[in-house]
Structure 1
Amino acid sequence: MNGSMSRRRFLGLLGGTAALSAAGWSLARPAVINPCRVAIPAALIDSPWLRKAWAGIDPAQVWDCHVHVAGLGDGGSGIVVGPQLSSALHPLHYAQRLFYMNAGCAHDAPGKVDAAYAARLLNLCDAMPAGFKVMLFAFEQFHDETGRAHTERTAFYVPDAWAAKLARDFPERFEWVASIHPYRRDALHALQAAIANDVRAVKWLPAAMGMDPASRRCDAFYRTLAASGVPLIVHCGEEQAVKGGDAQAWGNPLRLRRALDAGVKVVVAHCASLGEDSDDDGRSRPSFDLFLKLCAEPRAKGLLYGDISAITQRNRKPALIRTLLERNDLHERLLHGSDYPLPGILPLTSPATLARAGLLPAGAVGDLEIVRQHNPLLFDFSLKRLLAWQGHSFAPAVFHTRRVFAASKA
């Protein structure tokens, strides 16, 4: 959604959103609207900060493992936007959808939104070095305990077929990630079909989709995943972007023990960096601490990973970033993901704030801010490559994610 969208209407919705104000975001026009610029200015091509970001990195090994597909379902994609995101009667979530579409630079010409979103993402990838890829997420509907889908409780739905088609049409830049509810009667058939179609992972968001990763109903699904080597990417910790089910507790990292015990390769999205969950003793602790606890358990050896998408957003604590930078022992298990299109939502991430926290060179802030206006994927990658704390930075292995997702038997 570009200049054709009414900026006054957009800003009016945002101005009434309490969550944005509570997070301390500026709602001034330049800080909110993504200008959706194209080619990076020539003066930045030789930026010492961008050169430093790519130093020691093999672009062919960089698969951004957390990228969302979005749209309106207007181009034969099968995407469905639920009422909570499509109706102004739900102002917070409606404003979030406007943010996402603006961040993805999808214009609102009838019948072309889905194509515009995909085209913009492809253009961003084509501006990256050869070999760089993104992993496109499908997104499952909410299902109840009987395995029946409920569209009225589904925030948005992105079919596997659409994500797979984009990856098939543009194999130089896109891989795809399925999203299959394990309670579905056809879950195993759908999973086997995805594996046969070169899927790279399966994505779950338990609180929004209505599945409990600790349920025995997942066992057959886990056996198939383990046999194939296809990883399971699971959102853990608090979920704020979409709603479906009411069981936030299903996002507790400790509920992934069942999958690990079955031999499944598991990626904890965002390293469970937001919210709190119950520990084994019943006490409430930061979900991030429970992720670290799970990492230390023998069952997790060689199987448990965490993606670092969203960790630089304003609603994450600097101490969490410091911990991840300092824990060199975890770097082989950390994976780069951008959470695109969120890096294009200007108020979400503040390089200047990270610099004031001592996590980013102050001299890099200006270049990063300009880069973001042109290429949020490059912005997010460079920002995380430049993060540092007392001599610690993320090892190149964190960004060489292909090693995890190309190793499946798919």
Structure 2
Amino acid sequence: MNHRRRFLWAACGIGGAALAGFAVQRSLALFNNCQAQLPPVPAVDHLIRTAWAGVDSSQFLDCHVHLVGTGDSGSGIEVNPDMESLFHPMQYAQRLFYLNAGCVHDAPGRIDDSYVERLQNLVDGLQPGARLLLFAFDRFHTAAGRPDPERSSFYTPNAYAQAVARRHPRYFWWAASIHPYREDCVEALALAVEGGARAVKWLPPAMGIDPSSARCDRFYAALARHGLPLISHAGEEKAVHGGDQEALGNPLLLRRALEHGLRVVVAHCASLGSAVDLDRGANGPRVACFNLFSRMMGEARYEKLLFADISALTQRNRSVEMLRLLIERSEWHPRLLNGSDYPLPGIVPLILPADFAARGMLPQSAVAVLETIRQHNPLLFDFVLKRHLSSRGLHFAPAIFETRTFFERATA
């Protein structure tokens, strides 16, 4: 049975929740057609050319790209059995959308390799010099520092991410993922740095990490010695299941890492969910995670330490007003880094250019052109969309898309 038919079977069991709560119009295509060559259409060429204007492509590094697969290449990738089972239809449906977004849904037996080949194909569709930062992903660990496969959605080994980047240096850099409770976390970090890692990636709720715990201190100290930035998710997590969303996704927990002098990149600008305002005590009021993140961005002591990536901000489950604010806060732009959250831009219902046009943030003439670009290159679609978004006449600054220097500095 092919993956699309299996998805429809899964969707029957969960009705309208198959797309995590999105109301999808009948006319909207659910799947990426996974075409390759862009059509020779003047409107397409013009929109792309104007998007690159002012951006140095040799400095372009998409700093939020997931390296996923099934492990069929011997990569060591592990996928939770729930993602394969129709008895867990939400996770099953998510997996099929991710595979389609990465254009590997029709590649049985070589999904790992096809995913990487597709990424290379997409980078070839960008400007010369552009690269992607590929994320490894550690397992969920218990408080005692032991891996718990049953609570891990997936696992992408550091060794695999390093190997892919080493084989294709013109396309990829890589970020390690190391759980700080692991007994060998400091040694694993040294090995990753030796292997060329440019950052460390955490997703605390999915990994069972409390960034404010003293158990992280020895890892923070080692990370500071090596000079690598920490890219950490904050806010509610929709794409990956795991631990305590409310407690572990609180952006204020990252203060401990900042106090160690680390450069911390808050993924997605903490743009979903709410959390306890710990600055007012353990019983403080609940506040939007984005507001807690904004408070920290306003603190002078973090001016050279706290950063954020703009991945996922155009998805339909994010606030448009929040996106407007980020576009208009030009004083924050030197601290914002571009990321796509690939493969999610390839999931068609997640991002609708027509919605932005209806709100006056995008020219109506750009909508059909962007949809055409997405069907051929979701990475290019993500970049061109962000470059053409506007609010009160302001745009995301070109420097946001020139992130390579930030990660070069980490290994200097």
TM beyond 0.5: yes
Aligned to 2:247: 249
Contact 1:144–1:150 (CA under 8 A) maintained in structure 2: yes
Aligned to 2:378: 376
Query: Residues 6 and 219 from structure 1, CA distance in 2 versus in 1: closer, same or farther, beyond 3 angstroms?
Result: closer
Aligned to 2:404: 402
Query: Residues 83 and 299 from structure 1, CA distance in 2 versus in 1: closer, same or farther, beyond 3 angstroms?
Result: farther
User: Is 188-197 or 37-46 further displaced after alignment?
Assistant: 37-46
Query: Residues 129 and 147 from structure 1, CA distance in 2 versus in 1: closer, same or farther, beyond 3 angstroms?
Result: same
Q: Following superposition of structure 1 onto structure 2, how do residues 175-324 of structure 1 map, counting pairs within 5 Å?
A: 175-279=173-277, 280-281=279-280, 282-324=284-326
Contact 1:107–1:116 (CA under 8 A) maintained in structure 2: no
Aligned to 1:5: 2
Local SS of the residue matching 1:408: helix
The equivalent position to 2:335 in structure 1, one of 333, 336, 345, is: 333
Contact 2:161–2:174 (CA under 8 A) maintained in structure 1: yes
Deviations 1:72-107 (Å, cap 9, x if unpaired)? 100011000002212111100110000000000014
CA distance in 1, matches of 2:25, 2:89: 16
Instruction: Return 5+ residue gaps in structure 1 as ranges.
Output: none
Instruction: Return 5+ residue gaps in structure 2 as ranges.
Output: none
Deviations 1:321-349 (Å, cap 9, x if unpaired)? 11001100000011100000000000000
CA distance in 2, matches of 1:178, 1:29: 41
CA distance in 2, matches of 1:342, 1:22: 13
Aligned to 2:46: 48
Local SS of the residue matching 1:225: helix
Aligned to 1:32: 30
Q: Following superposition of structure 1 onto structure 2, how do residues 29-108 of structure 1 map, counting pairs within 5 Å?
A: 30-44=28-42, 47-108=45-106
Local SS of the residue matching 1:390: coil
Shift of 1:278: 1.2
Contact 1:65–1:337 (CA under 8 A) maintained in structure 2: yes
Shift of 1:300: 1.2
Shift of 1:362: 1.2
Local SS of the residue matching 1:406: helix
Shift of 1:229: 1.6
Local SS of the residue matching 1:185: coil
Q: Which amino acid aligns with 2:2?
A: M
Asked if residue 153 in structure 1 is aligned to residue 151 in structure 2, the reply is yes
Shift of 1:27: 6.1
Local SS of the residue matching 1:119: helix
Local SS of the residue matching 1:267: strand
Local SS of the residue matching 2:265: strand
Deviations 1:170-203 (Å, cap 9, x if unpaired)? 0011000110000001100000111111101100
CA distance in 1, matches of 2:248, 2:411: 28
Q: Which amino acid aligns with 1:5?
A: N
CA distance in 1, matches of 2:25, 2:148: 35
Q: Report sequence identity in percent.
A: 53
Q: Which amino acid aligns with 1:402?
A: R
TM-score w.r.t. structure 1 length? Answer: 0.96
Query: Residues 102 and 187 from structure 1, CA distance in 2 versus in 1: closer, same or farther, beyond 3 angstroms?
Result: same
